[in-house]
Amino acid sequence: MDIIYSNKNFASISVGFTSAIGEHVSGFETASQVSLPDLQRGALQLLKNDLDNGNVFSKGRALYPMVGSAASCHKLNFLNYLDNDAAYRITFSADSAAAHVDKGYKLAAASSRFGNTHYTLSGDINGFFAFAYITEPESAISSCILGARSNTPNSSLIFLSSHYNLASAGNALTGRLYDGVANTTVDGARSADAIRTTGLIGVSIIDGVVELYSNKAVVATVSNVPPPLVGGVTPVALGAYTHYQNGTSLFSDATIGSAGFFTDVTKSDVSVIIDAVIRFNQTLSR
């Protein structure tokens, strides 16, 4: 079901949505300790509706819509908005009020700002999709949007960057997943032609195929990755990564409008998630 909005007045957006959707958004708003504008409340209802209709809401592990312009709202997992680590609420480091804006969570590499999601890839990793929606671009190359901040063995499991520079291959949109036991890079999916300054970037692994996404397009693919990968021990961070071998840390200057992790997904599920997240952020003029 599609609803057309005139002049983005969301005062009556609940019309056409189930009461369960309204209750979920109201619960999230109450937990956030922020009174959300009609536009943001309506966009959240639209997001929940799209994910429900696509039968993927229950496959989500964490989804951060980054509304409310406050840490108390940005930290909450929209799928499970309890304020504790077990619900994958974010713990912010080097935080300030300036980090939480209308466009999302504003990172700052100079102050090593990042968010710990407390979400750890564990067990067999297959049918997995991770993404971030960038609303303001990086100001420098070799940065990290999603990563793991640890230099210990079997830790670093994901690396996603809109701009990552390798001396041998140049600057490129990069998505990587690591084997948490052997600490070997199993995909190295890169696309120099698809550097995304704003919009969605994501990486998936489904049945031994790793795919790198730039908005709705698959821009790099690595096949014959023997599933399953085995999870590590370090939670995923927003805006930070530490290399598991040499200890080099990367941060970010981008602003993240949304980020999330889904499991047990198919390729068609990934398309549903991407469409829903893009529509959500575009509804907010991001």
Cα 187 to chain centroid distance, Å, stands at: 19
Query: pLDDT > 70: what percent of the chain?
Result: 72
Enumerate domains of the chain plus CATH numbers.
60-266 (2.60.120)
Across the chain, mean pLDDT equals 82
The string of pLDDT tens digits covering residues 53-98 is 999 999 999 999 999 999 999 999 999 999 999 999 999 999 999 9
Residue 234 pLDDT exceeds 60: yes
The whole-number pLDDT of residue 61 equals 95
pLDDT band at 204 (very low <50, low <70, confident <90, very high): confident
Three-class DSSP category at 49: helix
Residues 96-139: pLDDT tens digits? Answer: 999 999 999 999 999 999 999 999 876 667 888 999 999 998 87
* Alpha-carbon span 221 to 267, nearest angstrom: 13
45, 259, 282, 284 from 9: Cα distances, Å = 14, 25, 15, 11
